Structures are given as structure tokens and as C-alpha cells.
């Protein structure tokens, strides 16, 4: 029986300069001596040095869970000696914590299967394990990146598994909570302004009255619907490709491996992850990721509508709608003194546009699931995590720096009510549509208030005051007032 080496208490880091020689199946490669990665990582850095877009660190943190869960199962079933399994698990904890983040430098634009990122992780874990037993880095012994760290696994099943874990975690820990907090802040304003009457607008033209609370209740309910859709789509990510290995058959993995690893992942994360019932779907498509991002896109549409409405309602201060008084976050102009702009709304619109545009890339990448593998995975996970993160951050900022500090310009709201002509709609059931139309046209043509025009056209003051009651007109059953 091989002797079990002592595990050393060595802090993370390599005090070395120059390069060291690493190898893979294609031959030897010089890598920086102060880094844990190996030959395949170095090849990727040289061949795919494209732009500034790095594989998100959340992917590697999620991958740390995958490698740890696999090591646990491989150890339990006797495929890995206990000391090797436990050593791999120890280093996986360092990956999960972010302590090894600088060891994961690869770009998003790489092999579409994610193989290079998987091997980056395997190499780093291998060399860190070797360091902890006092071995020679780059020797791939006693912990081999493929034979031990990647045991029973393929990039083709582990990368989409890590994708789902990273995406689900970000959505449930940041994006959905941020959407809920924003929804609650809007609902609080709706309640506070429940009795404040304003003129509605349809087709950008004056319409009948409603309360500000009713208008904002529409925003809150729209977010309720959006949140429900995001939650539903995100739950689809709980199904994992783990166990399918290369093409979905599970070659080189023992029976039940995917289910056992998924159970470990659920236990470690507290999330209800489970093995996907059909690995050919899980690896040949990215449909669940496409649907999850579509949920974010749908929420972005709702957020765009709300932010766009509010920036117009706050326009002014002298020549705009100016119904809302928006918080002044910063000076709005480098040349016009005193100018304040709806910057949080503008930022929200830009974020929403970015998410909508990202959805096009995600949709197209998701459609490229050729045969047994979708080879556009890095594109999808990068776009998803970017969309989920900026949406979460933007919702928090929009809530704190715009919604919570927004106030009403009640004088402007009252003036709009006094000048409104479209409340003539309330007279229509009493005097008829044609006569009501004549009253409204007369008011507009002669620059009169609605009441002045109605009295001039023969409507009694008693009838007008009884029927045209702004607050009453915002409630169902207002037609009963006319009878």
C-alpha cells in the first residue's frame, strides 16, 4: 500500500520567478512559475487573448462545488483513496471561497464547451494539492488533473452544471431580492398616494383621471408578474447535466454518479439541485439557460416602462410634465447651472437595453446546440451573469436614489385637474356622447375650463358638480353618480 503523505500547512501562493515547464498531451509549455495553472491554461491564454472579457469568477466558484461534490462521491465509492479525495476537497474549498481567484485568468472567448476553463480549474487544484504534500509542481503527481480531479467527469457535463449553479445562485441571492425590494418601495408610494388625483394619459394625450396610487399600483403589479416569471424560469436551472460525461451516456462515470453528485451539491449549497432526467437534452441544448435569461429580459421590459414613465413625469421644472419631484443625486450639467437630470432613470433604461440586447446573443447561442453538445456555453453564462448582476445593482440604486426620495408636485397635479377637458367623459352617459364632444371641443377652442364650457352649452351647475367629481371618477361605479 502506497504511503500516505503528510499534508503540509502551506499558505496559498508561490514564491517563485521566471517560468516552469508543464506538459499536456500536445507536449511541454512554459508557464509562469508563480502561478498554479498548467499547460492547457497557458495554451488558452496564448491562443484566445481576445478583448478584456474574462470568464466570470462566479463560474469557478460554482465549479469548486462541482469538483468537491465529485471528489466526495469518488471517495465514498472507493474510486479515490480517501487522502486524495479529502485533499482535493480542501483545495475546492479554497476555490469556492475565492482565495484562488487570480489563478483563473481565461477569457470568455474560448472553446465553446468550456473545456479550457474546466482544465484551468483541474490544473490549479492539482498543483495546489501537490504543493500541500511537498511535491513538484507540474509533475501531475500524486494528484493528476484529469485522472483524479476530473474523475468521472467531462467538460461537457461539468461546465453546464457549473453554469446552472452560478446563474441560480446569483439570481436568487441578488437579482430576485433586488426586484422584490424595488417592487415593495413602489407599492409603498402607491399606498401613500392612494387619494391623490391626477389626469391620466393615453396615446400621450390627456385622458380621464386616476389616482397617483392607482398608477403606481400598476407598476408594482407589473413587477409582481415579472418577478414571478423570473422565479419560474430560474427554477429550471435546478436540473443539472452532471453524470452525462462526454455525450450524455455517462461513459467513464459509475452508475448513479450524476444523481449522487447532484445530491451532494444540494446538501452543500442548500439549493434543490437534482440530476436532469435526460442528459442528452441537458448537454445538447442550453434551453433552460435561454429561458432563464428570457425571464430577465421580460423583467427588463417592465423596468424600462417604469423608468421611462417616471423620467417623463419628472420632466421640467418649467416646461415639462413635472408631476414628480425627483431626488437631485448630482449636478446635471457642466455648462447649465442648477440643472438636475433623471440620471437613475436613464441608467435603468441603459441597463434594460443591455439586458434586452444580451438576450439576442443568448437566444442565438442557445439555438446552436449541434447534435450532442451546445458549443456556445461561455457566451451564454457570461451574458447571463452580466445581465443578472447589472439588473440587481440597478434595481437597488433606482430604489435607493430615486423611488424612495420621489415626491409629488401636488400643485401641478391640481392645476392639471382644473384644466382637464377629458373629464367630460363623465358627462357622456348623462347628456350623450355627441353633446359631450361639443362641450369638449368648445372648451379647447375657446380656452375655457370644462365647467365653463359645459355651463355655456346648457349643462346645469348642479349636474356638473355632481357628475364631474375627480376623486369619484377614479373608482368603479362612478357612472352611478349620474343617475
Separation of CA 321 from chain center: 32
Separation of CA 475 from chain center: 37
Q: Is 113 a catalytic residue?
A: no
Count of all residues that appear for the chain in the document: 483
Q: Is 203 a catalytic residue?
A: yes
Residues 6+ apart with CB under 8 A from 393: 178
The sign of the torsion formed by the CA atoms of 426, 432, 433, 437 equals negative
Neighbouring C-beta atoms of residue 134, cutoff 10 Å:
11
Given 47, 232, 267, 333, which residue is catalytic? Answer: 333
Closest by Cα among 325, 327, 238 to 275: 238
Identify any residues that bridge with 54 across adjacent strands, giving them in sequence order: 107
Cα 462 from Cα 454, distance rounded (Å): 11
Residues with active-site annotation? 203, 333
Amino acid at each position: 500500500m502506497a504511503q500516505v503523505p503528510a499534508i503540509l500547512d502551506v499558505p496559498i501562493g508561490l514564491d517563485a520567478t521566471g517560468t516552469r515547464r508543464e506538459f499536456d498531451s500536445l507536449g511541454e509549455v512554459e508557464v509562469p512559475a508563480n502561478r498554479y495553472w498548467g499547460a492547457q491554461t497557458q495554451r488558452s491564454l496564448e491562443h484566445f487573448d481576445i478583448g478584456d472579457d474574462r470568464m466570470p469568477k462566479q463560474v469557478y466558484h460554482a465549479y469548486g462545488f462541482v469538483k468537491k461534490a465529485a471528489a466526495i462521491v469518488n471517495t465514498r465509492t472507493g474510486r479515490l483513496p480517501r487522502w486524495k479525495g479529502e485533499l482535493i476537497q480542501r483545495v475546492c474549498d479554497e476555490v469556492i471561497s475565492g482565495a484562488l481567484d487570480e489563478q483563473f485568468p481565461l477569457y470568455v472567448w474560448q472553446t465553446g464547451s468550456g473545456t479550457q476553463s474546466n482544465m484551468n480549474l483541474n490544473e490549479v487544484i492539482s498543483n495546489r494539492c501537490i504543493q500541500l504534500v511537498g511535491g513538484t509542481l507540474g509533475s501531475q503527481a500524486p494528484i493528476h488533473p484529469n485522472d483524479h480531479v476530473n474523475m468521472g467527469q467531462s467538460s461537457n457535463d461539468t461546465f453546464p452544471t457549473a453554469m446552472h449553479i452560478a446563474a441560480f445562485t446569483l439570481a436568487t441571492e441578488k437579482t430576485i431580492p433586488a426586484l422584490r425590494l424595488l417592487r415593495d418601495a413602489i407599492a409603498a408610494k402607491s399606498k401613500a398616494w392612494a387619494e391623490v388625483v391626477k389626469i391620466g394619459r393615453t396615446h400621450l394625450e390627456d385622458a380621464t383621471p386616476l389616482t397617483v396610487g392607482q398608477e403606481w399600483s400598476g407598476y408594482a403589479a407589473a413587477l409582481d408578474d415579472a418577478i414571478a416569471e423570473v422565479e419560474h424560469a430560474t427554477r429550471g436551472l435546478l436540473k443539472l447535466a452532471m453524470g452525462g460525461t462526454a455525450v450524455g451516456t455517462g461513459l467513464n462515470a459509475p452508475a448513479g454518479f450524476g444523481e449522487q453528485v447532484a445530491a451532494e451539491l444540494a446538501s452543500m449549497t442548500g439549493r434543490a439541485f437534482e440530476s436532469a432526467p435526460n442528459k442528452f437534452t441537458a448537454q445538447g441544448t442550453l434551453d433552460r439557460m435561454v429561458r432563464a435569461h428570457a425571464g430577465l429580459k421580460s423583467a427588463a421590459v417592465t423596468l424600462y416602462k417604469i423608468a421611462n414613465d417616471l423620467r417623463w413625469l419628472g420632466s421640467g421644472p418649467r416646461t415639462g410634465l413635472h408631476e414628480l419631484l425627483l431626488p437631485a443625486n448630482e449636478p446635471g450639467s457642466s455648462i447649465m447651472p442648477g440643472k438636475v437630470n433623471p440620471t437613475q432613470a436613464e441608467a435603468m433604461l441603459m441597463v434594460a437595453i443591455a439586458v434586452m440586447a444580451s438576450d439576442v446573443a443568448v437566444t442565438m447561442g442557445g439555438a446552436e446546440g449541434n447534435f450532442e453538445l451546445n458549443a456556445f456555453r461561455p457566451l451564454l453564462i457570461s451574458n447571463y451573469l452580466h445581465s443578472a448582476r447589472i439588473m440587481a445593482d440597478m434595481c437597488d440604486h433606482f430604489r435607493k436614489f430615486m423611488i424612495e426620495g420621489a415626491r409629488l408636485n401636488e400643485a401641478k397635479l391640481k392645476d392639471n385637474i382644473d384644466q382637464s377637458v377629458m373629464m367630460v367623459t363623465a358627462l357622456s352617459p348623462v347628456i350623450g356622447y355627441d353633446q359631450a364632444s361639443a362641450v369638449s371641443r368648445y372648451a379647447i377652442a375657446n380656452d375655457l375650463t370644462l365647467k365653463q364650457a359645459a355651463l355655456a352649452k346648457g349643462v346645469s351647475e348642479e349636474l356638473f358638480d355632481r357628475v364631474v367629481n375627480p376623486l369619484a371618477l377614479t373608482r368603479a361605479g362612478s357612472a352611478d353618480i349620474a343617475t
